[in-house]
């Protein structure tokens, strides 16, 4: 409800408002490799968010109407039935969503209903960029510096305090269930970093806990590369991705924290990360469908292999490289993985296995609870060397990374319990240990834990 440009504009005009959400079957189909387009973690999160939204709208004297079907097919009848004058929606960036917007606009026009779209999602409004979006700098630092110097972040819109809603007799429609969406209830893992619950209420509660109760913002820069526990990073991403919390609202809360508690490098760094998020959105807007191409935004495609058996071992966390396996198992069991983990497993897939990076991006798209089309494909392009990384041939030396970020092996011990007996850093490289040591700890490589798929580059 907060910082919702279409809703606030309608409220501000004292217009009658009828909020609608369409459950579009295209979001629940399958894609590359037969993967569900929306996996059950994200679908559950969406259902929770709809429930929360309905309750919030009821509090404002309104209702959330749920329609099933393609918006361009189901909206016109609905608009006619409620005699709508205008349809307000928020503007999207990537091609599938933009195609739906265009189809909806055409259908609304035929039904005699005006449409108006609103830019939201980003910290910097697209109209306030200091360059045309088509000239967004390819290097992040340049993008950030220009935005910081020449643009201002607009204030977040407040949430309306009540809505003018004279539609009590219009059928409201049921909130979907996972079964209706063709998905199974995911098991809630007690090993995950956080139990993510969809909706604006849980999003605001998470900010309250992370910033104000646990006072973590002042140490964010030092903790953000962590792997275990709720508070090494904000965990705002699933709520940001679905629009349950706005980046401008977070920005304002950072400013308030800086005034009331502490201002330091860490408080700035959270905003810095939100600028990364903006950057990938404007890069996607600039490059269109290229972000989904094998060669990305580079002129030539390199040679990539498409080996499903190798890919599957990566997916299942059975590569024989404990740091990779721990991260992949966390993702499969919870729908979440840290930023450090994402960089490492992505690099392993593209640099060590040389597998088509789009397979990895598609798997993330399916499973991530915080899937965001621009952040996901932008980051994957970046790691795969076909995007905006100014450094050529960036390579994450997994064992070195494991040494820097999980030196005692606690993270691997958490997710790869079959190796738990191995002490300290030894757990990161069972393949380098003498047979006698492995035997002493009851580890059988090729038995209950696999041999490594590739020989790791010995940088550690
Ligand atoms: C291969 C790969 C795929 C990724 N896919 C996604 C995705 O689908 N959705 C997604 O939200 N993030 C994605 N990220 C970015 C990042 O890993 C997550 O945003 C972050 O781990 C979420 O945890 P957090 O909210 O605790 O982050 P924090 O560290 O607390 O950061 C705060 C916010 O800043 C933004 N942010 C932080 N890092 C990045 C980044 N590298 N790129 C863009 N935004 C960032 C996020 O919105 C995040 O919630 C991906 C990164 C990689 C390397």
CA-closest candidate to residue 42, choices 340, 304, 384, 336: 336
Helix (H, G, I), strand (E, B) or coil at 96: helix
Closest atom, ligand 1, to C-alpha of 273: 34
How far apart are the CA of 287 and the centre of ligand 1, in A? 20
Q: What is the pLDDT of residues 402-429, one digit of tens each?
A: 999 999 999 999 999 999 999 999 999 9
How far apart are the CA of 375 and the centre of ligand 1, in A? 7
Assign 457 a pLDDT band (cuts: 50, 70, 90).
low
Q: Residue 102: what are its φ and ψ, rounded to 5°?
A: -65, -45
Provide mean pLDDT across the span 174-183: 97
Q: Which residue's CA is the closest to the ligand 1 atom numbered 26?
A: 235
Provide mean pLDDT across the span 87-97: 97
Q: Is 220 labelled a binding residue?
A: yes
Cα–Cα distance for residue pair 336/324, rounded to 1 Å: 14
Pocket test for ligand 1, best of 273, 330, 338, 355 (most atoms within 8 A of CB): 273
Q: What is the pLDDT of residues 140-153, one digit of tens each?
A: 999 999 999 999 99
Q: What is the pLDDT of residues 102-124, one digit of tens each?
A: 999 999 999 999 999 999 999 99
Taken in order of first residue, the domains within the chain and their CATH numbers are: 1-120 (3.40.50.620), 128-155+198-288 (1.25.40.80), 308-440 (1.10.579.10)
How far apart are the CA of 372 and the centre of ligand 1, in A? 9
Ranges of H-type helices in 60-94: 71-81
Strand-pair category, 65-68 with 20-23 = parallel
Output 459 or 16, whichever has higher pLDDT.
16
């Amino acid at each position: 409800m907060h910082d919702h440009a279409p809703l606030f504009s309608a409220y501000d005009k004292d217009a009658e408002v009828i909020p609608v959400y369409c459950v579009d079957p295209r979001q629940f189909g399958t894609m590359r490799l037969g993967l569900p387009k929306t996996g059950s973690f994200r679908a559950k999160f969406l259902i929770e968010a709809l429930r929360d939204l309905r309750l919030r709208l009821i509090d404002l004297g309104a209702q959330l109407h749920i329609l099933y079907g393609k918006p361009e097919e189901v909206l016109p009848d609905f608009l006619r039935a409620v005699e709508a004058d205008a349809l307000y929606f928020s503007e999207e960036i990537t091609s599938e969503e933009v195609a739906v917007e265009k189809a909806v606009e055409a259908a609304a026009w035929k039904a005699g209903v005006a449409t108006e779209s609103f830019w939201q999602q980003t910290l910097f409004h697209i109209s306030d960029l200091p360059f045309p979006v088509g000239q967004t700098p390819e290097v992040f630092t340049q993008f950030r510096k220009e935005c910081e110097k020449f643009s201002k972040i607009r204030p977040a819109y407040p949430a309306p305090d009540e809505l003018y809603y004279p539609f009590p007799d219009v059928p409201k429609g049921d909130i979907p269930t996972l079964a209706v969406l063709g998905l199974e209830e995911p098991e809630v893992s007690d090993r995950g970093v956080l139990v993510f619950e969809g909706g604006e209420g849980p999003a605001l509660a998470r900010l309250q806990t992370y910033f104000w109760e646990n006072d973590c913002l002042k140490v964010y820069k030092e903790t953000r590369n962590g792997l275990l526990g709720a508070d090494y990073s904000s965990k705002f991403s699933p709520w940001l991705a679905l629009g349950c919390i706005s980046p401008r609202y977070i920005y304002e809360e950072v400013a308030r924290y800086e005034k009331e508690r502490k201002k330091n490098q860490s408080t700035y760094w959270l905003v810095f990360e939100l600028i990364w998020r903006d950057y990938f959105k404007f890069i996607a807007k600039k490059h269109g469908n290229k972000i989904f191409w094998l060669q990305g935004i580079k002129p030539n495609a390199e040679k990539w292999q498409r080996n499903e058996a190798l890919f599957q071992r990566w997916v299942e966390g059975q590569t024989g490289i404990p740091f990779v396996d721990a991260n992949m198992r966390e993702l499969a069991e919870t729908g979440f993985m840290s930023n450090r983990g994402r960089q490492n497993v992505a690099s392993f897939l593209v640099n060590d296995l040389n597998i088509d990076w789009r397979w990895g991006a598609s798997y993330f798209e399916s499973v991530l609870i915080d899937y965001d089309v621009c952040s996901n494909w932008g980051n994957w392009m970046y790691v795969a060397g076909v995007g905006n990384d100014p450094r050529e041939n960036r390579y994450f030396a997994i064992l070195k990374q494991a040494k820097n970020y999980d030196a005692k092996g606690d993270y691997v011990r958490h997710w790869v319990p079959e190796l738990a007996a191995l002490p300290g850093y030894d757990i990161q490289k069972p393949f380098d240990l003498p047979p006698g040591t492995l035997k002493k700890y009851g580890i059988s490589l090729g038995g209950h834990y696999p041999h490594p798929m590739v020989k790791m580059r010995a940088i550690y």
